[in-house]
Amino acid sequence: MNKKREPHVRLGGGTSAPYPIATSPAASRVMRGNTRRDTRPEIALRRALFGQGLRFRVDYPIRLPSRVVRPDIVFVRARMAIFVDGCFWHGCPIHGTQPRHNSNYWLPKLARNRQRDLQTQTALQNEGWRVLRFWEHEEAQAAAAIVIGAIRSLARG
């Protein structure tokens, strides 16, 4: 499995809007979740990889010319960066629903997230990094199998 994954981001423009008040407890949880690291899907993928004998770095800073990026999982020697993207924040085609409440705030914000995802991915690839992205809804064992396949295909040259 050495096929490069296409970035799942879509580009969009937008203007900024004032920070809204959460319209429901669920929205409030989602808003708080924005800054959290080590989400459950990330941890599940790390466990699956570790269980398969792979060793990697967590919270490893990759210094790019334009900025520092901290992917969710980094294989330093293989130069492989892995992201586990939240379905809401990164606009998953299945779960990335368009918020109806405060949409003048959310839509530009989500569009900016997707734009940043694409810029980050391009910046990493320009520096010779391979990038794999998974949705948080993807099953950890299946994602781990893709990562392991990619690492092995690198090892074979």
Residue from 47, 57, 137, 152 that binds Zn ion (CB under 5 A)? 137
Q: Applying CB under 5 A, does 152 fall inside the site for Zn ion? A: no
**Which 95-114 positions form the footprint of Zn ion (CB under 5 A)?**
95
135 binds Zn ion (CB under 5 A): yes
- What are 48's two structure tokens? 């699956």
Candidate segments 17-25, 68-76, 80-88, 107-115, binder of Zn ion by CB under 5 A: 80-88
| Least distance between Zn ion and beta carbon 36 (Å) | 17
Minimum CB–partner distance for residue 93 and Zn ion (Å): 8
Write out the E strands in 4-96.
62-63, 68-69, 73-75, 80-85
C-alpha separations of 116 from 12, 57, 146 in Å: 11, 22, 24
* Amino acid code (one letter) for 100: R
121: left (phi over 0), alpha (psi -120 to 50) or beta: alpha
Asked if residue 116 binds Zn ion (CB under 5 A), the reply is: no
Alpha carbons 29 and 13: distance in angstroms, whole number: 26
Q: Are 71 and 83 in contact (CB under 8 A)?
A: yes
Position 87 contacts Zn ion (CB under 5 A): yes
d(CA 48, CA 43): 9
- Contact yes or no for 78/154 (Cβ under 8 A): yes
Is residue 94 near Zn ion by the rule CB under 5 A?
A: yes
| The binder of Zn ion chosen from 30, 58, 92, 146 (CB under 5 A) | 92
Q: Does 88 engage in binding with Zn ion (CB under 5 A)?
A: no
Q: Which stretch binds Zn ion (CB under 5 A): 32-40, 68-76, 104-112, 128-136?
A: 128-136
Q: Under the rule (CB under 5 A), what is the footprint of Zn ion?
A: 87, 92, 94-95, 135, 137
